[in-house]
Every structure is written in C-alpha cells, then in structure tokens.
Amino acid sequence: MSLSSQTRTLWAALVGIPLLFGAITALQVSIDAQTLSAEQEQQELVLRSPAAVKGLSLGYEGLLADIYWTRAVQYYGQRVGITGAKFDQLWPLLDITTTLDPKLIIAYRFGAVFLSETGVGGAGRTDLAVQLVRRGIAANPDEWRLNSDLGFLYYWHLHDYPAAAQAYLDGSRKPGAPPTLKIMAARVAELGGSIETSRMIWSEIYQSTKDRNVRKKALEQLQGLKALEDETHLDELAQEYRKRFGRNPASTNEMRAAGMLPGIPVDPAGYPYVFGPDGKSRLHPESPVVVPPEPSLPPRVPN
C-alpha cells in the first residue's frame, strides 16, 4: 500500500470513529429521555441498518456489539413493568448487536426473552424471538442452549409441539448437550400427538444410554406409549360397537364375542385392558404400566 493510501485510510479511521461513536452517544441520550413523543421514539436509532453499522465499524465490531447490547438491556429495563410501554426499538438494537457479533450468545438468549414476553414483561413478539434464536443457531451450530431456548419458545409461547420437539431433539445431538433435552423432545412429541416420533426418541434413549435410571425411565415410557396406542385403537373399536349395539362395551371379551377383536388384548405388563362406564378403555387397576402424562415445562437452562 502506498503512503498516500495509508494516509487516506488513517484519516478515514480518524474521521469515521468519532462520527460512529458520536452517533451511538446520540442514541444513548435519546433512549435515556423519559418523555419521548411517538415521532421522537421512531428516531431513537441514529443508525438503524446493521450492514451500515458493520461497514462503519472499522474493525471494532466486537466493541460496538457490546455497546449496542448494553443499550438493548437498558432500553428493555427502562420499559419492562410499565403498562402500555412500547418496545419498538428492541428488535433493531438486537438486530444490530448480533450482526456486529454473531457469537454473542447472551444477546440471542436474553434478547429472545425480552422479545417474547407479553404484557408488561416484554415486546410480545415471539416471531422475532424465534427469528433471533434461529439466527444464533445458524451462527453457532454447536451451541445446544440455543436449541433449548428455541424449543421453549415453540412449546410455551406458540404451542407448536412438533417444532418444539424437533428443536429439543436437534439440540440433544450437539456436543455437551444434557440427556434431558432428548427426554424433553420425546415428551413434547407425546403432547403433540406424535406417538411414533416419541417412541422413536425413547427407543434411541433406551438403546444409547448407559445410565440405569434413564434406561428404566425410557422402558417405562415405551410401555406407556404402547398402552396409549392400544387404548386409542380400542376406543375407536368401542365407537363402532356403540353404533352396532346401541351401548358401550362392558369388556374386551364382549368385543371379541362380537368378532371385533381376535383375542383379549393385554398391556405390556400382561394385564387385560378394561372399559369404564364412559365407554373409554383404560389400564387394569393392578397394572404397573403408566400412560405418559402431559410433559412438564423444563426450567430454562442456566448460562
């Protein structure tokens, strides 16, 4: 590089850096203002474009990312808990932060919380939270905690159980992931009605784990899923029985006598299924098999 080129580069840095940090200072002063009009608030971000900020960073991306993340936290903190507060600038701040530093894991994880919480707790934008975490996963493919956060968003906020199960399952396959992620994936799949997916995951857990307690739990879950599947099939046959005979079946023996069953079905522990007064099949009272309950929500994974 010629001396003149080096001189121009130096001058660009000397001029660009003060301008950039001056803009950030203006942003901070604007955000700190407590009595902003709607029009003023729309002007809070002096630099809205992540690409523009990155282009002007002159190699200081990490430092600027920390500054923008600090502003995002302060911006959220000044509004959280206030009825009617708006969080319009939260996404732009997080967008710039993670563009500047795609490896800043804390911005994805806590930023998703800020975005997804509803009411006075946050922006109520789970769609943007999902977008943010997915961006984090793409930039940090080995970070299983982001998959856990994504599963949480799908489970708790969107009630999209298949997507939640897939997020937990994907995370469970990453280095250092705890076995609880795979277990949660299986249980969420059950809640979403995907017995086959849940059985596949529990089978994988049973075959791969060396932990006796986890292996026992997996076997119990597999037996419970088999019973759940059997009960679903028996309930369908019971509906057909009602159509034909005008009443609920009293037992599987009656259904066999009507030619609707080839024999007396038993659960994985060898106990025959029974019917209640409501015409629904259920496990024998003495059976040790347990049909899987709805999955409980896991606590957020600590940093």
Q: Express each pLDDT in 233-257 by its tens digit.
A: 999 999 999 999 999 999 999 999 9
pLDDT above 80 (res 298): no
- Coil, strand, or helix at residue 80? coil
Every domain range in the chain assigned CATH 1.25.40.10: 3-217
Biggest CA pair distance of the chain: 99
Q: Which fold has domain 3-217?
A: 1.25.40
- Tell me which H or E stretch contains 274: strand 274-275
Amino acid at 274: V
pLDDT at 14: 38
Please state whether 266 falls in left (phi above 0), alpha (psi between -120 and 50) or beta.
beta
Global pTM reads 0.67
Residues 6+ apart with CB under 8 A from 5: none
- Residues 6 or more apart in contact with residue 93 via CB below 8 angstroms: 45, 68, 69, 71, 72, 75
Q: 6 pLDDT exceeds 50?
A: no
Percent of the chain exceeding pLDDT 70 equals 77
Task: Dump the DSSP string for 222-270.
Answer: HHHHHHHHHHHHHHHHHHHHHHHHSS--S-HHHHHHTTS-SS--B-TTS
Q: Which one of 19-28, 47-56, 99-108 scores highest in mean pLDDT?
A: 99-108
